[in-house]
């Protein structure tokens, strides 16, 4: 089995692959204070819930946007499964030419998403990832990573509003019954959910106008299902897109990672 790990600012998502099939997924909160021993124990317990033994995990790949946790997770995986995980970073074959002024500034998950999107559509694409930030990543007709947009995510936006507006209270992140809110709860939900969807539609329109061609638009991330109900330009949803991109990257780098069980010095660090 392959263990794919997506370390985000809010959650860490794990996926277990048997060949090309995603058999299990699970997630935990991202806690920078959690030690490698704690992560290792947690991983074993989560696998146990799915009747998976540590010996069944033969390889692993990690994409992380939380630098303090990258080495912690790598060591936890080494100890738990006696294998060196591949880390998305310099020296890793992505199959994607990166046309960004400073490639080292790009979050690993954004490259991974772009790899998965181009593999799926074989043409120009925009990936909208609803996470701590809502990111837009553009892929050219040739599969090149062109760049994108970073917008404060839904939770970040709501937290900022509640911190600044004394009379507003937290509401459930749920679809409003209509766009026109007739009470404060529905008005907030409309602004947060429908407003974010309208932003997505407008941003996609502007990106396509700048690129000069239409794109396939795919949504991923924790709020993809909710926002996509109101976003007209989103054509596909895949909440496991990042995990699929990690699987693809692992296969492209299989020769590097083969024989990694017990190895110590072959881990690349950033996307190239």
Give CA–CA dist 124/117, Å, rounded: 9
DSSP 194: I
Q: Going by C-beta distance under 8 Å and a sequence separation of 6 or more, which residues neighbour residue 190?
A: 176, 178, 179, 180, 181
Active-site residue, selected from the candidate residues 6, 84, 109, 137: 109
Active-site annotation holds for 109: yes
Give CA–CA dist 134/57, Å, rounded: 32
Which is it for strands 11-18 and 86-87: parallel, antiparallel or unpaired? unpaired
Q: How far from 76 is each of 4, 39, 180, CA to CA, in Å?
A: 14, 6, 49
Q: Going by C-beta distance under 8 Å and a sequence separation of 6 or more, which residues neighbour residue 17?
A: 1, 2, 3, 4, 23, 243, 247
| CB-based burial label for 120 (10 Å; 0-12, 13-18, 19+) | middle
Q: Are 176 and 186 in contact (CB under 8 A)?
A: yes
Active-site residue list: 109
């Amino acid at each position: 089995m392959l263990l794919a790990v997506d370390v985000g600012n809010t959650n860490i998502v794990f996926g277990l692959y048997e060949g090309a099939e995603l058999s299990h997924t699970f997630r935990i909160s991202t806690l920078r204070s959690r030690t490698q021993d704690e992560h290792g124990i947690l991983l074993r317990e989560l696998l146990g819930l799915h009747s998976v033994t540590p010996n069944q995990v033969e390889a692993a790949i990690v994409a992380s946007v939380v630098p303090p946790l990258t080495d912690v997770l790598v060591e936890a995986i080494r100890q738990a499964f006696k294998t060196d995980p591949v880390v998305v970073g310099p020296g890793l074959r992505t199959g994607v030419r990166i046309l960004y002024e400073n490639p080292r500034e790009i979050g690993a998950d954004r490259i991974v998403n772009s790899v998965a999107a181009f593999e799926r559509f074989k043409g120009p694409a925009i990936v909208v990832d609803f996470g701590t930030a809502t990111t837009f990543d553009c892929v050219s007709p040739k599969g090149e990573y062109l760049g994108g947009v970073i917008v404060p995510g839904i939770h970040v936006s709501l937290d900022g509003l509640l911190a600044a507006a004394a009379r507003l209270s937290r509401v459930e992140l749920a679809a409003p019954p209509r766009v026109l809110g007739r009470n404060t709860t529905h008005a907030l939900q409309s602004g947060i959910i429908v407003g974010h969807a309208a932003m997505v539609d407008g941003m996609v329109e502007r990106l396509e106008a700048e690129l000069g061609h239409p794109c396939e638009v795919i949504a991923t991330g924790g709020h993809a299902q909710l926002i996509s109900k109101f976003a007209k330009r989103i054509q596909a949803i895949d909440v496991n897109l990042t995990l699929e991109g990690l699987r693809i990257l692992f296969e492209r780098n299989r020769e590097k990672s083969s024989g990694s069980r017990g190895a110590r010095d072959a881990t690349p660090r950033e996307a190239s």
